[in-house]
């Protein structure tokens, strides 16, 4: 077995210990990421939705479940190292112990208690929530791998543990820097440095997501940043794909791609500009490919997934398992995942919404 080769002969016992450490560092760790921000913490960190429950309800099965990636270590062992999905109730799906109830309620009331448009203020909150989730997750990752390298060598001594620690240290540094900027924007309600590409769909998306990544290539496959140094500040591109209802324009879904203006570097700006070449009919297909490859926090409609051919399911699961990304060229995405019928797109330039033309 895949994992049997990676761990000691007594691997089931070892995996049990690693599973306990994952629970300790990822699942049980509680921290309000908005501590000291705008209002005081109430002290009760809750399981916060990174994708609102009201949105998950839209795509859930009749009994209130969605599919999420099954990254339990025993799940991976059962599937011989292959990625798979699990059914999760919408009360638990996409939740992280990342805010106290006071901050969770006050910060996201413009999304939770209002109809999603989404205007620039809602986009700012969506981006903030996605970035805080990533920051919370990266910090858990860092503590986990730090423990592994420091204390668990006999248990977990395969070559990439040190590499994983270095990667998580790098990601945490970047998300810490971005946290400062986005927190200031939310605190001052300043959307002048916010940039958003908002794409409306006629069809309801079968896949919802909320997360962020650092674009390394644009959609032509051109490298955006070649050499990382401590002087580099990478741009995080956050992506939310959400259902819409009753907006009066017959749109049933929206993709919100947002980033912060970063003069002189502009990796996200260049990434988005390369989308001009994509045709509207291809847009949902390219985005589905992108989020399965780059965004970890994805919730899938069971009826959407179950209706897909095995070849599509396997390709999407394979994308999610990619550790080292190759240049992503939109012309080479030949698999037809779905067409959510993109109708129009607009760009928030810091002052106004402009039309964003595609090919
Ligand atoms: Zn708090």
Most confident of the ranges 11-25, 103-117, 229-243 = 103-117
- Rounded to the nearest whole angstrom, what is the distance from the C-alpha of residue 96 to the centroid of ligand 1? 13
Whether 155 shows a pLDDT value over 60: the answer reads: no
pLDDT over 90 percentage in the chain: 66
Q: Could you tell me the residue range of the domain that residue 209 belongs to?
A: 2-355
pLDDT digits (tens, 9 = 90+) for 170-197: 889 989 989 999 999 999 999 999 999 9
Q: What is the pLDDT of residue 225?
A: 80
pLDDT digits (tens, 9 = 90+) for 291-301: 999 999 999 99
- Rounded to the nearest whole angstrom, what is the distance from the C-alpha of residue 101 to the centroid of ligand 1? 7
- Rounded to the nearest whole angstrom, what is the distance from the C-alpha of residue 76 to the centroid of ligand 1? 34
Q: Hey, what are 305's tokens?
A: 């997934």
- Rounded to the nearest whole angstrom, what is the distance from the C-alpha of residue 144 to the centroid of ligand 1? 23
Q: Hey, what are 107's tokens?
A: 């910060």
Q: What is the model's pTM?
A: 0.94
> What span, in angstroms and rounded, lies between the C-alpha atoms of 7 and 16?
12
Per the structure, the count of domains in the chain is 1
pLDDT digits (tens, 9 = 90+) for 260-318: 998 878 899 999 999 999 998 899 999 999 999 999 999 999 999 999 999 999 999 99
- Mean pLDDT across the chain, nearest whole number? 90
- Rounded to the nearest whole angstrom, what is the distance from the C-alpha of residue 46 to the centroid of ligand 1? 9
- Rounded to the nearest whole angstrom, what is the distance from the C-alpha of residue 273 to the centroid of ligand 1? 37
> What span, in angstroms and rounded, lies between the C-alpha atoms of 99 and 93?
16
> What span, in angstroms and rounded, lies between the C-alpha atoms of 128 and 201?
23
- Rounded to the nearest whole angstrom, what is the distance from the C-alpha of residue 33 to the centroid of ligand 1? 7
**Average pLDDT of the residues in 13-17:** 79
Question: Do 131 and 34 form a contact (C-beta atoms < 8 A)?
Answer: no
């Amino acid at each position: 077995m895949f994992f049997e080769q990676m761990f000691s002969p007594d691997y089931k016992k070892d995996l049990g210990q690693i599973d306990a450490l994952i629970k300790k560092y990822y699942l049980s760790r509680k921290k309000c990421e908005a501590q000291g921000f705008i209002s005081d913490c109430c002290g009760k960190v809750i399981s916060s939705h990174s994708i609102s429950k009201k949105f998950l309800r839209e795509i859930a099965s009749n009994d209130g479940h969605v599919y999420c990636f099954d990254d339990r270590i025993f799940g991976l062992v059962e599937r011989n190292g292959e990625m798979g999905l699990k059914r999760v109730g919408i009360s638990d799906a996409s939740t992280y112990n990342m805010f106290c109830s006071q901050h969770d309620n006050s910060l996201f009331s413009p999304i939770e208690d209002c109809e999603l448009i989404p205007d620039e203020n809602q986009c700012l909150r969506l981006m903030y929530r996605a970035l805080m989730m990533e920051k919370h997750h990266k910090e858990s990752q860092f503590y986990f791998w730090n423990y592994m390298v420091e204390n668990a060598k006999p248990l977990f001594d395969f070559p990439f543990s040190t590499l994983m620690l270095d990667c998580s240290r790098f990601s945490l540094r970047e998300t810490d820097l971005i946290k400062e900027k986005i927190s200031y924007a939310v605190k001052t309600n300043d959307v002048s440095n916010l940039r958003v590409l908002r794409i409306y769909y006629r069809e309801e998306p079968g896949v919802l997501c909320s997360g962020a990544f650092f674009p390394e290539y644009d959609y032509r496959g051109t490298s955006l940043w070649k050499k990382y140094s401590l002087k580099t500040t990478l741009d995080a591109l956050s992506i939310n794909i959400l259902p819409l209802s009753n907006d009066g324009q017959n749109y049933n879904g929206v993709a919100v791609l947002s980033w912060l203006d970063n003069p002189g570097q502009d990796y996200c700006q260049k990434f988005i500009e390369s989308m001009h070449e994509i045709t509207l009919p291809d847009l949902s297909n390219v985005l589905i490919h992108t989020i399965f490859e780059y965004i970890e926090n994805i919730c899938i409609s069971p009826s959407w997934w179950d209706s897909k051919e095995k070849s599509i399911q396997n390709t999407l699961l394979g994308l999610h398992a990619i550790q080292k990304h190759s240049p992503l060229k939109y012309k080479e995405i030949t698999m037809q995942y779905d067409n959510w019928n993109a109708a129009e797109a607009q760009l928030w330039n810091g002052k106004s919404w402009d039309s964003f033309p595609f090919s």
